[in-house]
Chain A
Amino acid sequence: MSKFWVILSHTYLSKLKSKAFIISTIISLLFVVAVANVQSIIDLFADDEVEQIAVIDESNTLFVPLSTNVEAATDDFELVEFNGTEEEGKEAVINEEYKALLVTTLNDKRLPEASYYANDISDSGNQIQLEQQVQQLKIALATGYSGIDEQELMEINAPVTFQVTALDETAKTEEELNQARGIVYVMLFLLYITVMSYGQLIMTDVANEKSSRVMELLVSSAPAVTHMFAKILGIALLGLTQVGSIIIVGFILIKSKQEEYMGGIFEYLGFQDISPAVYIYAIVFFLLGYLVYATIAAMLGSLVSRVEDAGQMMLPLIFLIMIAFFIAMFGLEAPDSTIVKVTSFIPFFSPMIMFMRVGMLDIPTWEVILSIGILALSILLFAYIGAKVYKGGVLLYGRSSSLKDFKKALALSKKDS
């Protein structure tokens, strides 16, 4: 077994068995299960009883059409005719026999008016629904008086036809854009979270080996570059395990509740029919994005002597990924702007932003290839510098963690002429 695999599997297995990993995975899985069952959980707490709202109909004509409409519109409450005075009605509401009291009258133009009484009016749901129903009743009555028939009324109320068409033939349709937006969202969050958590993991792991001084032993048995990349990939594998287990559990849950969810949030996110090219781009940009940040994290981790200092070193990395994230978010609304175009070629930002452009716009292939090329080259460059710094950095112990150390580490590994 080559040393690369020894280090990779050690990194992977020792982390996999660690309490922190197991606990965080279990918590994430519980969260996924909870989200998938959110409807059932809400139902669990909701009472099944249909609330009753008392109605005193002073006009004697409004109750029947109103209660029919309410019955058609909602299951949340029903209307009950109340035979008594208004005072008695209010009394009944205070005694919680009814949820609320509605008093309906016809004014001098023979149009309906209503007063709503409830113990508290913070729960505005019922109130708004009732108001709408009364409004509709009013429109129906008013149009009836002025001689407009039902057919005409429906035409008046029908929503306007407003079609959006892109003239550029290759531009994405509105539907495609929504789909792209969905997968871009998911990808952005995934990359953001991955870099934040696993980048941190790499950095603390390297710092840990340095502070326990085991590093000198390690680099004496295997080259620093091998060590660095085995570590980066070992932790990537760990991330895949964690994210993968969450996705698998999520997928199974969704499958089992397909009818419940299909066409809901998934349609909104545009997961139903996306072209395979977008998936391939997603994977390519995700992996490259992870690699570029992971390489820098490992390099920075090799510069600190103590685990406590690792957080400090993480800061620049967090800033970079945050900037990328915000530009990408901004770009979702304005994918054509110059800043988006420019940053989609800058290595730190391109995994997120170029992917967003690919998803949202129809851009020439050479631009994508150029961006991927720049990204890949800069990964190689960072790997080269990283390995140099790593080799020197692991032998460098000191309190400070600054640019000076960076230079010192480089000098340590460099051949003096």
Chain B
Amino acid sequence: MTLVLNQVTKRFGKDTAVNHLSLKIPEKEMFGFLGGNGAGKTTTFRMILGLLDITEGEISWNGEPINYSKSHLIGYLPEERGLYPKLTVKDQIIYLGKLRGMRKKEIVSELESWLERFKVPEYMNKRVEELSKGNQQKIQFISAVIHKPKLLILDEPFSGLDPVNVEMLKRAVIDLKEQGTSIVFSSHRMEHVEELCEHLCILHKGNPVVQGSLRDIKRSFGKKNLIIHADFELDFLGDESGVVQYKKVAEGCELQIENEDVSQQIFSMLQGKGFIRKFELEEPSLNDIFIEKVGAKYE
């Protein structure tokens, strides 16, 4: 059940929302879409779901195009949350579940276990408008996964949730993945993508800027972070060759360096200068990569 996007392009009139995007999302994988506002994430999802026609290129899942005959295998959590405010949680999920090809009985028992899991069994017969935004989000999530989809698309799943609920939802997403669901999700919170995804793609104004596995992306980025906490002045490091960025912090400094070797030069340079409490070489964070790749494009 591999999802393949091949040179997918979407234009609205003269504007190009997504430009030649090619992806391969294998089964049981979690794939992250990163990008600022208007980067084309939601447009891409809508194309995958068939809500928008593709201008050029093609999307296939398991070698076949995605259409409504497969909608019972696909789950979708839209960015704009939407439920019927006047309906009870139960009626709501029954309706949406039936539309995904389930029977009422299955839906109710599934819903019960999900509500139990999210620690809100009392919401069963409450109207959606009575729930808080975060709890509506849980119901929205249940509506996306109630039919045990093989492909789950989550558009900004964690926005507007408190940390406890974020953890709860993350756990649920990971469990689904382990049960064999391919998950595609978008976020502008780097740490979520970093934590959950093996593969990712950074979109910027419709263009895929970086894509591949998290490890490869970090490795090929080359630059590393070096954190030094010392009792003496470190300002001179800012002018060293191989140091891309110098940032002074309370206990010392944080450097971005061109490659690992630079750290060794600096290490020997610091010998005998005084007491060093911390000397740490770190992989770049996704945040650094994102800012570098996307930030550079802004200039």
User: Contact residues of A with B, CB < 8 Å?
Assistant: 1, 3, 6-7, 10, 14, 209, 212-223, 391, 395, 411-416
Which of B83-91, B165-173, B176-184 forms contacts with chain A?
Answer: B83-91
Cβ B83 vs Cβ A214 within 8 A: yes
Cβ A221 vs Cβ B78 within 8 A: no
Cβ A217 vs Cβ B46 within 8 A: no
Cβ B76 vs Cβ A220 within 8 A: yes
B52 CB, min distance to chain A CBs, angstroms? 7
Residue of A nearest to B85 (CB): A212
Cβ A6 vs Cβ B95 within 8 A: yes
Cβ A217 vs Cβ B51 within 8 A: no
Cβ A213 vs Cβ B81 within 8 A: yes
Taking the complex as formed, is B257 at the interface, i.e. its CB lies under 8 A from any CB of chain A?
no
User: Contact residues of B with A, CB < 8 Å?
Assistant: 11-13, 46, 49-53, 55, 68, 71, 74, 76, 78, 80-85, 87, 91, 95-96, 98-100, 143
Cβ A214 vs Cβ B76 within 8 A: no
Checking B13, B49, B74, B99 against A6 with a beta-carbon cut-off of 8 angstroms, the contacting residue is B99
B141 CB, min distance to chain A CBs, angstroms? 12
A250 to B37, CA, bound (A): 60
Given the known A-B contacts A212-B85, A219-B51, A395-B46, are A411 and B13 also in contact in the complex, defined by CB atoms under 8 Å? yes
Give the residues in chain B near A217, CB-CB below 8 Å: 76, 78, 82, 96, 143
Cβ A216 vs Cβ B80 within 8 A: yes
4 A-B pairs besides A10-B98, A215-B82, A221-B100 with CB distance below 8 A are A209-B84, A220-B76, A221-B99, A412-B12
Cβ A220 vs Cβ B51 within 8 A: yes
The 7 closest A-B pairs by CB, nearest first: A213-B82, A214-B82, A221-B99, A213-B80, A6-B98, A216-B78, A415-B53
Residue of B nearest to A219 (CB): B51
B228 CB, min distance to chain A CBs, angstroms? 50
Give the residues in chain B near A411, CB-CB below 8 Å: 12-13
Residue of B nearest to A397 (CB): B80
Give the residues in chain A near B84, CB-CB below 8 Å: 209, 212, 214
A7 to B13, CA, bound (A): 33
Cβ B87 vs Cβ A14 within 8 A: yes
A36 to B84, CA, bound (A): 40
Give the residues in chain B near A14, CB-CB below 8 Å: 87, 91
What are 30 contact pairs spanning A and B, CB under 8 A? A1-B98, A3-B68, A3-B99, A6-B98, A14-B91, A212-B82, A212-B83, A212-B84, A213-B80, A213-B81, A216-B76, A216-B78, A216-B80, A217-B76, A217-B78, A217-B82, A220-B74, A220-B78, A221-B96, A221-B99, A221-B100, A222-B71, A222-B99, A223-B68, A411-B12, A411-B13, A414-B53, A415-B55, A416-B11, A416-B53
A402 CB, min distance to chain B CBs, angstroms? 17
B66 CB, min distance to chain A CBs, angstroms? 11
A416 to B95, CA, bound (A): 34
Give the residues in chain B near A209, CB-CB below 8 Å: 84
A215 to B78, CA, bound (A): 10
Cβ B96 vs Cβ A395 within 8 A: no
Residue of B nearest to A213 (CB): B82
